[in-house]
Copies of this chain bind each other. A is one copy, B any other.
């Protein structure tokens, strides 16, 4: 940490800052410029992490040099982590596609969707059994019934299941049916849930919060890893900006950022990321080109009657075309699908 003293700070102010830091067994290093003195702080990182110096007389501001996360950092784990979901690998040379309806509605709907996406090359079936909805009057999902359908249909097609968990108390139940537990954008900083997921034996897919910074996102993953669960997959799903043409602004530079800062895999969700069916194909290609390890795409056999998010779902036909196009992009970045 660096403590920047204000131009008007007195010698006494500076001495007090040094005295406080030394009382915490931290070392200091003074740099005196023309206008102001700057105090470098060296020592136990955990103490520095909790330091708040801005209230002391004469202090203008402080600058943190190091991020607080460790386990998620590529500095501590230079090689890419590959997560093995019961045979399906996420984070390696082979791209993984998760597809299926926004909400599980019925056996027929899910079966039709699964058949279509499996045939087109998807290995993981997605579908919401518990839906976080803005209004209490919106469809909230089928609950455990939806989980059972997901497992049953996925097994019929030899697929894995990813589904969202919206409450800490549901973890045990969802673990019985799903292969990957998804943390939604609205729960990215539900720290009690993250801590509980740190004890789960299942991989966690952590969606980026609606207005989460890259740093906050990495720290949220750190909550899971520090609990003992090392299998975290990031999912970029768009951030909130002033633009209204798209539902969110898909931030593909986050893919490059996560790849630089962390060893964990990251996938892209162009359905929620754009909210527009016509944009799913170009943004899927762009996500792969940016270096993502896979995609999550909403596919509904009849999007026009979907109970949620129909306007950001592909039809089975469109999905099939997209998958064959993705193959070329994957090859161009040295991967396969």
Binding site for B on A (CB under 8 A): 2, 4, 7, 20, 29, 31-36, 38, 40, 42, 45-46, 49-50, 52-56, 63, 65-66, 68-69, 75, 132-139, 166-169, 186-187, 189-192, 195, 209-211, 213-216, 219, 222-223, 226, 239-246, 249-253, 255-257, 259-260, 273-274, 277-279, 282-283, 285-291, 303-304, 306-311, 313, 325, 328-329, 331-333
Contact = CB atoms under 8 A, between A and B. Distances in A.
A278 B329 CA distance: 20
Given A34-B42, A285-B289, A243 B239 contact: yes
A16 B311 CA distance: 17
Given A245-B257, A278-B260, A287-B286, A50 B139 contact: yes
What is the count of identical protomers in the complex?
4
Nearest to A288: B289
Nearest to A166: B192
A97 to B, nearest CB: 16
Q: What are the 7 tightest A-B residue pairs by CB atom distance, in nearest-first order?
A: A328-B332, A211-B211, A54-B311, A289-B289, A31-B40, A286-B290, A68-B135
A125 to B, nearest CB: 21
Most chain B CB within 10 A, of A53, A290, A331, is at: A290
A219 B278 contact: no
Nearest to A44: B34
A133 to B, nearest CB: 7
Given A2-B38, A168-B168, A132 B191 contact: yes
A283 B279 contact: no
B75 A137 contact: no
A33 to B, nearest CB: 5
Contacts of A242: 211, 213, 239-242
Contacts of A69: 135
Contacts of A331: 328, 332
Given A29-B31, A63-B63, A138 B283 contact: no
A259 to B, nearest CB: 8
A242 B240 CA distance: 7
Nearest to A287: B286
